[in-house]
Structure 1
Amino acid sequence: MAIPDDAPQWRPCTPLDAPALGRFNAQLAEDEGAPALGPTSLYVERMRTWLSQGRYQAALAWAQDEPVAYALWRDDPDYADVFVRQFFVAREHRGRGIGQRLFEQAVRQFWDGRPLRLDVYDSNPRGAAFWARLGFAPYSRLMRRMPAEPGVDASPARPLRARTDRA
């Protein structure tokens, strides 16, 4: 269904919104190349838990009676900013600038005047380009090491060594 570009409005979520958030989150994970949690029901339960425990806040953008986007965030006192964990626009509504407009609307409605931080998977160059257009710049690189399987050496093939030939 085509929607007017300026029609969607953000509404804060409660744990009762977990089914819509979970469906969108499963699509987001697929789009950004993240490892899947499993069936959509696991995404729904995770959203319900995060919202009911107050670990995150969320909002859905609605156009008429249809959710078209969501945002998930938390205040992070360690960094004195807002960590935007997830932002997603439904696939059928992309490509017309609605994501940029909805994000800027969310900034004004939920985070006005606050520094914002987010992570972008290396497997998601389109996402990185989207965030760069919105003024985000790289400042760190999050890295992950998974535990070794039993009997497998997890150390690097060649250990890193400090250079000693510097003057």
Structure 2
Amino acid sequence: MQLKQVTPEDAQELAVYNRELIQEEGHRNPMNLRELTQRMESFLMDEWEAVYFIHDGQKVGYALYKFGTDAFDSRIQTVYLRQFLILYPFRKQGLGRKAFETLKQEVFKEARIHVEVLTHNERGVAFWKAMGFKMYSMHLHT
């Protein structure tokens, strides 16, 4: 698995991928492709970074993340992994695990990683638990 840095010029393609992620996880985000593109451009021009996952010369997914520091100990680097997607045709081949392991080793290194998963997204919850994540908190909504 190889990583390729994303630039703001890639925002429209990432917006298409983001729309797939929104649909797959059952998120209630109503944004259309134009709005998702604008939001992605804003992310990429701000503090956010993104990479494509490349396998056998093909883009198979992406990740969007932001580095920070722990709220209680500024010596601890953190990373918030906001979006992580393996495109539908490439799923069930172990590429999600390979992509995450590569991202962790090459980019995140020793940073404490935070992810959010919708509680009804059982596949997502199972994936992140298989990657070694444990439940830390739960957001409740009315």
TM-score, length-scaled by structure 1: 0.76
From the two aligned structures, give the one with the greater helix fraction. 2
How do 1:18-29 residues align onto structure 2 when only pairs under 5 Å count? 18-29=11-22
Structure 1 residue 40 and structure 2 residue 37: aligned? no
Question: What is the CA distance between 1:123 and its match in structure 2?
Answer: 2.0
What amino acid is the match of 1:56?
A: W
Q: How far apart, in 2, do the equivalents of 1:66 and 1:40 lie?
A: 23
Structure 1 residue 69 and structure 2 residue 66: aligned? no
Q: How far apart, in 1, do the equivalents of 2:58 and 2:36 lie?
A: 20
Which residue, 115, 127, 138 being the options, matches 1:141?
138
Gaps of 5+ in 2: 72-76
Give the stretch that moved more between structures: 38-47 or 13-22.
38-47
In structure 2, the residue corresponding to 1:144 is in which secondary structure? coil
Corresponding pairs, count? 137
Gaps of 5+ in 1: 1-7, 146-167
Contact kept, 8 Å, 1:18 with 1:47, in 2: the verdict is: yes
In structure 2, the residue corresponding to 1:135 is in which secondary structure? coil
In structure 1, the residue corresponding to 2:100 is in which secondary structure? helix
Question: Taking every aligned residue pair, what percent have the same amino acid on both sides?
Answer: 28
Root-mean-square deviation (Å): 1.5
Question: What is the CA distance between 1:66 and its match in structure 2?
Answer: 3.5
Larger Rg: 1
Q: How far apart, in 2, do the equivalents of 1:85 and 1:10 lie?
A: 17
